[in-house]
């Protein structure tokens, strides 16, 4: 079978070796030969929103899946009418790509979400008295881009002006106890697979580390699984074919709120490559190709995943630091081969398998001590 991927970043790059294990040919549509996946898969070189290029991709594939959400649904719809198979389907993607529409959809299928509105500069909106608030770009936000916490009207207006005075998602600030995430997949035949719930830790709105499994009450983990099943197979509307990353807030009172969902593989699931029987990337391919999904169990009692984020503008490959991190017992370093580093950019990640989940914090600090330069005194 031949599977096309719209997007050629590190997610498609990590999918390539999993495709080879399954005997699947992988093709990617991506705008630059410097993109990570271009080195490991057949490539249609074109912008992601180029529908003619996607038609070429479709001619060479049995099904098309996604690495990101930067797509033109209207243009892809014409291809779907001609018989091109997308997984997830475009009807599944439609309510998810705009963050406001996604939040409305989650609310409408009965899931708990933070209070929210769509905001277009109305200074009289009653919602505005509940500072602080979180303001999010409705499209194309990722890795901390397009998310700001604002504490008063002046800060909100400044963000809105900077973003071009376009409609934004405005939501209540949740003083969460933990941020959680769960990866969940569904194949066309209806089988569902759910990975262990993890805790994600963010800095400057970017994920720094993932602790596996999350140190939470089993009842909370079961609630996360129930939410995942509701998203993959809602009571009304189309069911999912593919894999979703689901982000949640856990409050001090034990309440779960769905923050966001990504209709693809997700940073919070990178640990699965080394720490689980089947990785999230192989799981996505199995779901798309309607193969048995297999096991999501951990291969060790615990694990920690640490993102290797850029902290400077550079074209270094940081080989010495990577070798030092790789020397940590149980460590698996994944370097994405990006040509340029810049602050906050995801350059790679390391997963360390653990004899006990309680070791995660110490190991994460050890990785970060090696990777990041010492702060100036």
Known binding-site residue numbers: 99, 136, 171-174, 179, 259-260
Q: Are 79 and 18 in contact (CB under 8 A)?
A: no
Of the candidates 360, 284, 237, 295, which has an alpha carbon nearest to the alpha carbon of residue 7?
Answer: 284
Per-residue CA distances from 196 to 183, 241, 245, 299, 360 (Å): 8, 20, 12, 12, 15
Q: Which residues, at least 6 apart from 121, have a Cβ–Cβ distance to it below 8 Å?
A: 157, 160, 165
Residues within the annotated binding site for ATP? 99, 136, 171-174, 179, 259-260
Alpha-carbon distance 73 to 53, whole Å?
14
For the chain, the straight-line distance linking the first and the last C-alpha, in angstroms and rounded, comes to 56
> Tokens at residue 6, please?
């719209």
Alpha-carbon distance 4 to 37, whole Å?
12
For 84-102, give one letter per residue: b (16+ CB within 10 A) or e. Answer: bbbbbebebbbbbbbbbbb
Give the orientation angle of helix 73-81 with respect to helix 51-59, to 10 degrees.
40
> Tokens at residue 154, please?
């002046």
Residue 23 burial (10 A CB sphere; 0-12, 13-18, 19+):
exposed
Angle at 129 between CA 127 and CA 134, to 5 degrees: 65
Angle at 65 between CA 64 and CA 70, to 5 degrees: 115
> Tokens at residue 374, please?
């010492």
């Amino acid at each position: 079978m031949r599977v096309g991927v719209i997007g050629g970043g590190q997610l498609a790059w990590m999918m390539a070796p999993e495709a080879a294990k399954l005997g699947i040919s992988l093709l990617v549509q991506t705008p630059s030969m410097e993109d990570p996946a271009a080195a490991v898969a057949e490539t249609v070189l074109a912008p992601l929103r180029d529908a003619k290029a996607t038609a070429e991709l479709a001619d060479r594939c049995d099904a098309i899946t996604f690495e990101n959400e930067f797509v033109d649904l209207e243009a892809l719809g014409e291809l779907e009418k001609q018989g091109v198979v997308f997984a997830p389907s475009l009807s599944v993607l439609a309510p998810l790509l705009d963050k406001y529409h996604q939040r409305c959809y989650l609310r409408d299928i009965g899931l708990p979400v933070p209070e929210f509105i769509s905001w277009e500069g109305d200074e009289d909106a009653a919602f505005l008295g509940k500072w602080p608030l979180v303001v999010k770009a409705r499209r194309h936000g990722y890795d901390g881009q397009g998310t700001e916490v604002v504490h008063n009207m002046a800060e909100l207006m400044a963000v809105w002006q900077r973003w071009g005075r376009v409609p934004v998602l405005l939501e209540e600030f949740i003083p969460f106890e933990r941020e959680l995430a769960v990866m969940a997949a569904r194949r066309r035949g209806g089988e569902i697979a759910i990975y262990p719930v993890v805790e994600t830790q963010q800095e400057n709105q970017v994920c720094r580390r993932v602790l596996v499994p999350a140190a939470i009450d089993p009842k909370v983990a079961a609630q996360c699984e129930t939410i995942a099943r509701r998203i993959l197979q809602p009571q009304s509307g189309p069911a999912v074919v593919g894999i979703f990353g689901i982000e949640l807030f856990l409050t001090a009172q034990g309440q779960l709120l769905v923050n966001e969902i990504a209709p693809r593989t997700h940073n919070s699931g990178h640990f699965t490559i080394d720490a689980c029987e089947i990785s999230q990337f192989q799981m996505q391919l199995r779901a798309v190709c309607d193969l048995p999904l297999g096991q999501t169990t951990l291969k060790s009692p615990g694990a920690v995943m640490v993102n290797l984020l850029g902290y400077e503008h550079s074209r270094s490959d940081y080989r010495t630091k990577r070798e030092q991190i790789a020397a940590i017992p149980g460590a698996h370093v994944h370097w994405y081969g990006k040509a340029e580093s810049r602050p906050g950019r995801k350059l790679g990640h390391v997963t360390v398998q653990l004899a006990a989940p309680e070791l995660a914090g110490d190991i994460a600090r050890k990785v970060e001590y090696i990777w990041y330069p010492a702060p100036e005194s």
